[in-house]
Structure 1
Amino acid sequence: MELSLLARSESPPPPGRFNFKDQRNSMIVAGSLGLGMYVTAQPDVKDAVPVWMADLLGSSITIGALTAIVLDLVFHHWRAGPGVPPLDRAPEGPALT
């Protein structure tokens, strides 16, 4: 019974901890890991871009970090326009499974 009570607690994570219940955070992790693994699995990707960009896009660590930064800006910091409420917290309602 104790375990089920702990599993249902909806308290936010402590500061500095990652919140996997917010689907935007999960998308950031999945996107950055996915592109990082893609560059590792397909090393010829850097041949399809200009030479000055090949160093940036040829490294899985670099492309993963850049993807995480861009997706964080898109999901957490940029707004869609006037009249659109900010997403300061996870949307209410049941999570998609």
Structure 2
Amino acid sequence: MKKMALSIILLGLSSVAMADLSASCKVFFQQVDSLVNNIPNDVATKQQAEMIKQNLKLTKQQISAMPKENQEEGCKQAIVGLKQYQAILKAK
């Protein structure tokens, strides 16, 4: 369920290299990378973790293709969503 919520956050963004990303997007993807890297690497989660990593890579590509102004707005919203997601995880 946690992994699915993270996927929804990633897919909610409408653009590969971190150098092509705005400041907010760099912060967002650093935070998401940290979350993804903390997913246990066991048989039960391996397939989901790989799917999340592929979605993350695609999302980075899509966001980096967007104009910086659009990146900023979208990633600021994504950071808010990620903070809400993290608060839910801490509450459990």
Q: Please give the range of the TM-score, normalised by the shorter of the 2 chains.
A: 0.3 to 0.5
When the two structures are superposed, what TM-score results if normalisation uses the length of structure 1? Answer: 0.32
As a proportion of its length, which structure holds more helix?
2
TM-score by length of 2: 0.33
The structure with the larger Rg is 1
